[in-house]
Amino acid sequence: MRLDPRTKLFMVFVISLIAMMSATTPVLWAIRLIITLIPIVLLILEKKYSSALRFFLAYGIALVLLLFFISENSEGIIASLLIGYCGIVVQFMPALITAWYVIRTTKIGEFMSCMQKMHIPDGIAVSLAVVMRFFPTIKEEYSSINDAMRMRGVMLGGGNVLRMFEFRMIPLLFSCVNIGEELSAAAITRGLGGDSKRSSLIELKLGLADYLLMSFLTAATVIFVMYKYFL
């Protein structure tokens, strides 16, 4: 199933909106759960089983812990670490899963033509596309830097926090700058930044699935807001 990038963006928007408003009653929790399950189901439909399972387990475990083992009165180190872990996961996981799904399944060409259709200024669109693409690169570069340091026996920069930071940050910046140069060379050869309007190979069209999902998300938001603020 192919979703339109606009639907995906709308999904990101709605899910982060709902994740932002905290759930307090069972109805709100139910909506939140359903909303979180949508991107997981979509991941399964895209045949990304392992990541779907991983997200599902991480979210599920945190949720169970949070709902059944942690109360207002939990104190102590283990409890506060657990709260930390569960808090992060439950609060940010829905948006994270959605963002992950969107980044993994949207081709950059699709994204750009979608941005063009929505009349987003080129500057923002290009930069946003780069940001989207760049997180995995940063992670990759970072782990290669770590490998290189381990190979030469530099562990944690000798316990000095500043050096620890410097040893990782500087090489990371070096490689990122270089990658940036290559990226812009590649983009310019493909006509980015030219004077004429760019055409796109991909024709975007909203299909039945898009309309269904969008109306479902809208309905969920309306119900959520209704229950939270007016009932």
CB of 71 to another protein, least distance (A): 8
Distance, CA of 134 to CA of 140 (rounded, Å)? 10
- Please count the other Cβ atoms lying within 10 Å of the Cβ belonging to residue 83: 15
Inter-residue contact 97 to 36 (CB < 8 Å): yes
The yes or no reply on residue 118 touching another protein (CB under 8 A) is: no
Stretch that binds another protein, among 41-49, 129-137, 201-209, 213-221 (CB under 8 A): 129-137
CB of 130 to another protein, least distance (A): 3
User: Token pair for residue 171?
Assistant: 């090489």
- Please count the other Cβ atoms lying within 10 Å of the Cβ belonging to residue 161: 9
Between residues 11 and 203, which has the closer beta carbon with respect to another protein? 11
Residues 55-114 that bind another protein (CB under 8 A): 66-67, 70-75, 79-81, 83-88, 90-92, 95, 99
Instruction: Determine phi and psi for 214, rounding to 5 degrees.
Output: -65, -45
Inter-residue contact 6 to 14 (CB < 8 Å): no
124: amino acid identity, one letter: I
CB of 215 to another protein, least distance (A): 22
Residues that bind another protein (CB under 8 A): 12-13, 16-17, 19-24, 66-67, 70-75, 79-81, 83-88, 90-92, 95, 99, 122-124, 126-131, 134-135, 138, 165-166, 169-170, 172-174, 176-177, 179-180, 183-184, 187-188, 192-193
